[in-house]
Amino acid sequence: MSVRATTKRGKPVWLVQVIRDGGDFNRRRFLDRRTHRRQDALDVEAELIAEYEAAQRLASPLSSAGVTRPASAASKAATPTFADVAARYLAMQDPARSDYANKARYLRLHLLPHLGELPIDAITPMVLDDLKVKLRAPTGETASSRRSLTRTSPPASSRRKGAAKSPKTINNILTTLRSVLHLAHDYELIHRVPRIRMEKVPRPDPVFLDDDEIAQLLAAVPPEWWLLTFTAIRTGLRRGELMALRWADVHLEAPQPYLRVQRSVRKEGDGSLRVKEPKGGRSRTVPLASDISAALAERRPARPHTPALVFPGPVQGLLDHQELWRVLAAAGMAAGLEKHVHPHLLRHTFASHCYRAGVPPQVVQAWLGHAQISTTERYAHLAPRAGSTLIELLAQSTSSLPVILAERPI
């Protein structure tokens, strides 16, 4: 059987595993048995088998045609479908990347049901517009998990299964679709990639904690999580970077204390944790303010250059991803904060406070490790209004104007 009940890290799960071609095709998925029925696991098994069969269908026409589109009308019937190319596209992605699960979900839930059976060269702008109309409309579905059906407390989010999708979600789906079409173009299965018009997405101001909210959160967080929470607020490190931070990366003896971000913890497709390079593949240096330096110094071991983790945990010696989320959310509720507290909110808080303090955007970008300055400029509205002090330079730039203004008619 490809579906069986088991446990993973002490939690009851369904293990769905499909192995074909002597292990060349090996897909494994875990579903929480507390929120998913056996039928859900069987549905996932059917999807994995369909993915394998689609990959087999795609390999046949591509290999026989030398990875080129069939040129004759007689061979047009062998043109791969969108599902075939999508299976090849997904097989080429790295399951360790954080966006792999999202791409697979967009294909499974939104793209394959609408486009899967179409020949890849039959996807026209009109077909894409029809897809966008369907994505904008609510589906009317209701939650099917036992946890949702038996909920006695209000949910933490107003989002619902079956509700109208946000413009951002639609754009994420369309971006995955465009990647599949570009792959088909690279294989010369289509002459050109049809134009895909993205939705206009309003860019809301980032949510962050002010000084009073930070004090309330730090007072409510459990003692063993206090230093990690304060470090996140004062350095803006991502969740995986905090989990992988070593004492050897913390340099408190320098004239200006700093830490080096050189590693990050990523969650693999099978649920295991792996230490890799930071996001973007680049290390960076983040200076430490005096208050966080003092807090870290109190916890620093006798041998400061030890490779031991600053924040160790029970899962392969690392903290549990989900446990950190739960602790911060619970602390935010205990503190009476209306904002939903999560690890990335603390990163937003660091960036926002840097801008409010007048730190230049390029410096904040380097500290946060953003690849694009446009990502950092989300916080630009929080910067002090420097123009209010510089505007007087305009009046001082022309020496003749004061004389002319003095002689103006009353």
Q: What is the pLDDT of residue 30?
A: 86
Bridge partners (DSSP) of residue 31 are 14
**Token representation of residue 396:** 């001082």
Token pair 């040129």: residue: 71
305 vs 260: CA distance, rounded Å: 13
The answer to whether the beta carbons of residues 331 and 221 sit under 8 Å apart is yes
DSSP class of residue 111? I
- Alpha-carbon distances, residue 183 vs 84, 112, 192 (angstroms): 11, 16, 11
For the chain, domain boundaries: 3-145+163-186, 211-387
Tell me how crowded residue 237 is: count the other CB atoms within 10 A of its CB.
28
End-to-end CA distance of the chain: 96
Pick the CATH number of 211-387 from 3.40.50.300, 1.10.10.10, 1.10.443.10, 2.60.40.10: 1.10.443.10
Q: pLDDT (tens digit, 0 to 9) for every residue of the chain, 410 residues total?
A: 578 888 887 788 888 888 887 777 778 888 888 888 888 888 888 878 877 776 676 555 444 333 333 344 444 446 899 999 999 999 888 876 778 888 999 999 899 999 999 999 999 999 999 999 999 888 665 555 445 555 555 554 445 556 778 899 999 999 999 999 999 999 889 999 999 999 988 877 788 999 999 999 999 999 999 999 999 999 999 999 999 999 999 999 999 999 999 999 887 766 778 888 888 788 999 999 999 999 999 998 877 677 889 999 888 888 887 888 999 999 999 999 999 999 999 999 999 999 888 899 999 999 999 988 888 888 877 776 655 555 556 556 655 555 555 666 65
Helix, strand and coil content of the chain, in percent to the nearest 5, comes to 50, 10, 40
Q: Is the pTM of this model over 0.75?
A: no
The set of residues, in sequence order, having a beta carbon less than 8 Å from that of 161 and lying 6+ positions away, is 141, 142, 143, 144, 148
45 vs 31: CA distance, rounded Å: 11
